Copies of this chain bind each other. A is one copy, B any other.
């Protein structure tokens, strides 16, 4: 009934063929999405069902599962519809907006489900590994689904266009420095409100790829802004807390943006006192970062990392305890390399959920091992 595989969409597709109006009839993206969205939703629903029963029966987990079921039903109504029909496309677009709104709080609700489980049950390392493995995949799947929906609704919906250059949410000429400056300004506004002061920023660029001074790439500015805004907030908070309420002078947050042949790299360096190495590992572990005590400060990198990963970028944090923290965002210079990263549902996935590799083969507890792996939280 549903197509077996799914399509990995590259920027050029997002920008061109998928979203062109063909012959004045319905857009190609309608015919693409009416198949692709149910495929992505079915695949991640299969993985939801592989989660530990003690998580699945939590009220918030049932809520999330219900949203996905409803969305699948909504989408399947369009399965055999005539994708040349403009009226149907309008109806489809409205349906996508309903779906997007329905799923707005999926991340928070799933985090709530994990908290509910933690309060109700003991859980072992194997279950924790499976949940971490799932959440990485679930959240990237969600980012991808929202990306598809946003492209369609921005291009064919009735909302006014935000920017003449943008193609949906994509800016083919994203001015990275200006996104950094915008994110700094927004974070500074919040910081000034709360602390009545804020650290300055220093932005430098080095373009070693070509002679131009401008550092532009094809990207989704809202994704990059989201990552940078959260990192700025974290750095500002670290600086203000580290220096204390009586300080009047604060070390700058330094941003260096470099463009090479492959990587566009953004490094944000603060002198906010840093954190111990063992805590860096925990920042990427969902089970730690959903703990209530950590919720405000350190739940960030986990989600931001997935946004960077989605277009084959990366986010790393290195810290020097007693001094400060560097966050590095890696983006692909070539948009042809920045295609979607998607979880694939196959027999390897089943094996991952079954495999119980929690016996340590080293002399120490594995908590100290870095594992910035999308596939698990196993610190091995």
Contacts and interface: CB of A to CB of B under 8 A. Distances in A.
Interface of A: 8, 137, 206-209, 256, 258-263, 265, 267, 273-274, 276-278, 312, 314, 316, 318, 320-323, 326, 328, 330, 339-349, 351-352, 355, 357, 359-364, 368-375, 380
Contacts of A312: 364, 368
A297 to B, nearest CB: 18
A343 B260 CA distance: 39
A380 B360 CA distance: 19
Nearest to A266: B320
Given A206-B322, A320-B263, A322-B258, A374 B359 contact: no
B355 A320 contact: no
B258 A278 contact: no
Contact of A323 (B208, B351, B374): B208
Given A330-B277, A342-B363, A344-B362, A321 B374 contact: no
A361 B352 contact: yes
Given A341-B363, A370-B373, 12 more contacts: A206-B323, A208-B322, A209-B322, A256-B323, A342-B362, A345-B361, A346-B361, A348-B360, A348-B361, A371-B372, A371-B373, A373-B373
A206 B258 CA distance: 28
Contact of A276 (B261, B346, B373): B261
A373 B363 contact: no
Given A360-B344, A370-B372, A318 B326 contact: yes
Nearest to A375: B380
Tell me whether chain A's interface is mostly helix, strand or loop, or mixed.
Answer: loop
B260 A322 contact: yes
A349 B277 CA distance: 27
A192 to B, nearest CB: 27
Nearest to A5: B363
Contacts of A278: 262
B348 A375 contact: no
A277 B331 CA distance: 10
A213 to B, nearest CB: 14
Contacts of A321: 208, 258, 260-263, 265
A239 B256 CA distance: 19
A355 B355 contact: yes
22 contacts: A8-B363, A206-B322, A206-B323, A208-B321, A208-B322, A260-B276, A260-B320, A260-B321, A262-B278, A265-B321, A312-B364, A316-B318, A341-B362, A344-B362, A348-B357, A348-B360, A351-B357, A355-B355, A361-B375, A362-B374, A362-B375, A374-B380
Nearest to A207: B322
Nearest to A262: B276
A260 B375 CA distance: 32
A322 B264 CA distance: 9
A328 B320 contact: yes
A361 B349 contact: yes
A364 B352 contact: no
